[in-house]
A and B are shown apart, each in its own frame.
Chain A
């Protein structure tokens, strides 16, 4: 059983990797940058959605955990001259370590207390960059050189495509780890703790430890997302990138995608990448003033968060599931599709 989960996740990762590889081949530099952006968002969102959906904890501090990863990478590559891969690994490790005390504190809090504490974390941590400008570069942050494609890919290999590859590789690692986590005994224990803490502890589960573990894992994912952001996409780690808004955007992505599902995190990442573009186009086509157009994405995130909770709390992935379920029951109930339309309308099996 466990082995088949491993095989299934490997197949999933290879399939996604193949699709992404092909996709990056045929699209423009701009799309490749979007792909890389979506990939680092996915890393952070997947960790957050596992935390919120599988273990029932909310975190408004994942923007700050991304900052931890970003600054670690920037310091290691920029100051110490490290290579990208070890820097990213250390960034994940540092985010894991930072996640330990936050997770331990968080495991004792619930609902609004946890939300408030992580909110204070999101506001408080970036202030360190201002307090120690010599190390963290103050308001301007730390800049990095873009990663160079390895020589065996040829000297004219496209930089943006290489960036997309790195970011997608990171996202796939996150997908592999979290898929196996969700479908393992640990994932089952997390859900047991989420649904009923007292029943879970009567079954011998260490409730606090499980919740802390979930937080630490999602902190590591956020750290990787932040590291990819700083090293690959923005080539910059600055406090302006990790405001409280970022944490709220991450939350919006997770909620709208569908809490708890990795596919939902893909939807959420797509939303976070594409929505600013769409609103920009919208603002241009209606020739709105800069005041309005600059704040339009923010307004849409707000409306989307509220509307999702009031009207459709299961998010996009919940809708997809409901649709798939509907199609499946129609097929199972033996209802024949009208002849001629069967090819076009056959649902997933």
Chain B
């Protein structure tokens, strides 16, 4: 029973991180109808930058801020330079460009920082809470992770529902032509979508790095689970991404706990395929006809 509680708590904190990555993928999908396969590599770069700043200044907060700021810049630059030229090309081209970017960023990180993983500091203690003599598998740092992701989800919801920028972003994604006629700078809104998404990704990178370590390829599984979580949520809805992230985190935590962690990627694949077979557009998306 304690094992079940431990796995549940652990699943919630890993699920929160999956949710953050899923949010990043969903924001980009909403803006440009592209799945950003470079997201894992982009958040790897921002986390390396954070690590460099933390070693230099000794301040976790400074590193955290640098990760978010560099995420903002990288996201905007990638959209402007690489994605804008292939906006109207077939979807396969965008998939290949983001995969090329993934490959390039992994190589650059390897060139600068080397391929062997290194440790990354956690914001708070990694020692589990004690409840009645037993130590839970849930730490103050996990609390921090969950709270940060909740805060991001709430802020994004506020942005999209209560601000003019959010309304313009939604309009640009939903009906670019009409939005353009009404004076929305559609191009800028797409850039803003990518930048915001990269910030959410950067956040996930800093949060997950203490447990997966920091290396060029260490964030590949995060991208997979984030993608599965985003698809569970329908790829189109931020609340769906959060729910998808947490439910996936729980499911994978039980698999890892009871069947061994080597099976986690395979379990993610099985969940993905089953969900896509039952509902090809995800669990939380409204049914919609594909345009011919």
B136 contacts the other chain (CB 8 A): no
Quick one: closest B residue to A254, CB to CB? B96
Q: Which chain A residue lies CB-closest to B93?
A: A309
Report whether B269 and A131 are in contact in the complex, using a CB–CB cutoff of 8 Å.
no
With A112-B91, A310-B82, A310-B85 in contact, do A119 and B227 touch (Cβ < 8 Å)? yes
23 contacts between A and B (CB under 8 A): A52-B92, A56-B92, A105-B276, A113-B231, A116-B231, A119-B37, A119-B224, A120-B265, A245-B103, A252-B100, A252-B103, A291-B110, A291-B112, A295-B106, A298-B110, A302-B100, A302-B102, A302-B107, A306-B100, A306-B101, A308-B96, A309-B93, A310-B85
Q: Which residues of B contact A244 (CB under 8 A)?
A: 220
A binding-site residues for B, Cβ under 8 Å: 52, 56, 58, 60, 105, 108-109, 111-113, 115-117, 119-121, 123-125, 127-128, 130-131, 198, 244-245, 248, 251-252, 255, 291-292, 294-296, 298-299, 301-306, 308-310, 313
Chain A residues, Cβ within 8 Å of B264: 127
Contacts of B273 in A (CB 8 A): 105, 117
13 further interface pairs, Cβ-Cβ under 8 Å (given A128-B262, A295-B107): A109-B276, A115-B35, A115-B37, A119-B227, A130-B262, A251-B99, A252-B103, A255-B96, A291-B115, A294-B115, A295-B115, A306-B97, A306-B101
Max chain B CB contacts within 10 Å: which of A105, A113, A198?
A113
Asked if residues A299 and B91 are in contact (CB atoms below 8 Å), the reply is no
With a CB–CB cut-off of 8 A, which chain A residues contact B102? 248, 302
Interface centre among B82, B273, B280, B292 (most CB of A within 10 A): B273
Closest 6 pairs (CB-CB, A-B): A302-B104, A305-B100, A302-B103, A299-B107, A112-B35, A298-B107
Interface centre among A245, A251, A302, A313 (most CB of B within 10 A): A302
Among B29, B37, B89, B262, contact of A313 (Cβ-Cβ < 8 Å): B89
The residues of B that contact A111 with a CB separation of less than 8 Å are 91-92, 95
Q: CB distance B95 to A313 under 8 Å?
A: no
- CB-nearest residue of chain B relative to A126? B265
- B contact patch SS: helix
Chain B contacts for A296, CB-based, 8 A: 107, 111
Give the chain A neighbours of B280 by CB distance below 8 A: 108-109, 113
A301 B103 Cβ-Cβ under 8 A: yes
Contact present for B269 and A124 (CB under 8 Å): yes
A residues in contact with B101, CB < 8 Å: 302, 306
Within 8 A of A (CB), among B206-232: 220-221, 224, 227-228, 231
Q: A127, B266: Cβ atoms under 8 Å?
A: yes
Q: Residue on A with the closest CB to B85?
A: A310
B86 in contact (CB, < 8 A): yes
Closest to A299 in B: B107
Chain A residues whose C-beta falls within 8 Å of the C-beta of B35 in the assembled complex: 112, 115-116
Which residues of chain B come closer than 8 Å to A305, judged between CB atoms? 96-97, 99-100, 103
Residues of B within 8 A of A115 (CB): 35, 37, 95
Q: In the bound complex, what is the Cα–Cα distance between A139 and B94 (angstroms)?
A: 34
How far does the Cβ of A286 sit from chain B's closest Cβ, in whole Å?
A: 13
A residues in contact with B220, CB < 8 Å: 123, 244
CB of B268 closer than 8 Å to a CB of A: yes
In the bound complex, CA of A303 to CA of B100 (Å): 7
Docked Cα-Cα span, A295 to B114, in Å, equals: 9
From A244, A255, A292, A303, name the one whose CB has the most chain B CB atoms within 10 angstroms: A244
B181 on the interface (CB 8 Å rule)? no
Given A120-B269, A130-B262, residue A248 in contact with residue B99 (CB < 8 A): yes
Chain A residues with CB under 8 A of B99: 60, 248, 251, 305
Give B43-97 interface residues, CB cut-off 8 Å to A: 82, 85-86, 89, 91-93, 95-97
Chain A residue with minimal CB distance to B108? A299
Asked if A295 and B110 sit within 8 Å, CB to CB, the answer is: yes
CB of A278, distance to nearest CB on chain B (Å): 15
- Distance of A120 Cα from B271 Cα, bound (Å): 10
List, in ascending order, chain A residues with CB within 8 A of B103's CB.
Answer: 245, 248, 252, 298-299, 301-302, 305
Q: Is A120's CB under 8 angstroms from B224's CB?
A: yes
Q: Are B100 and A123 in contact (CB under 8 A)?
A: no
Q: Complex Cα distance A304/B100, Å?
A: 8
What is the bound-complex CA distance between A245 and B273, given in angstroms?
Answer: 22
In the complex, the answer to whether B262 meets A112 with C-beta atoms within 8 Å is no
Which listed residue, A112, A127, A255, A306, touches B34 by the CB 8 Å rule?
A112
Bound complex: CA A111 to CA B269 (Å): 17
* Residue in A closest to B36 when the chains form the complex, CB atoms: A112
B92 & A298 in contact (Cβ 8 Å cutoff) = no
Closest B residue by C-beta to A292? B111
Given A294-B110, A295-B115, A310-B85, check contact A303 B104 (CB 8 Å). Answer: yes
B94 CB to nearest chain A CB (Å) = 8
A56 to B95, CA, bound (A): 13
B52 to chain A, nearest CB (A): 15
CA distance A121 to B228 in the complex (A): 12
**Once the chains are docked, how many angstroms separate the CA of A127 from the CA of B221?**
12
Selected contact of B265 from candidates A123, A251, A295, A313, CB within 8 Å = A123
> Are the CB atoms of B266 and A128 closer together than 8 Å?
yes
**A131 to B, closest residue via Cβ:** B262
CA gap between A220 and B280 in the complex, in Å: 26
B105 at interface by CB-CB < 8 Å:
yes
**With A198-B292, A306-B82, A309-B100 in contact, is A117–B262 under 8 Å at CB?**
no
Question: In the complex, what's the smallest C-beta–C-beta distance from B221 to chain A, in angstroms?
Answer: 7
Q: Which of A56, A116, A130 lies at the interface centre, i.e. has the most chain B CB atoms within 10 A of its CB?
A: A116
Q: Closest chain A residue to B103 by CB distance?
A: A302
Contact B221 A123 (CB under 8 A): yes
In whole Å, how far is B138's beta carbon from the nearest beta carbon of chain A? 26
In contact, B97 and A310 (Cβ under 8 angstroms): yes
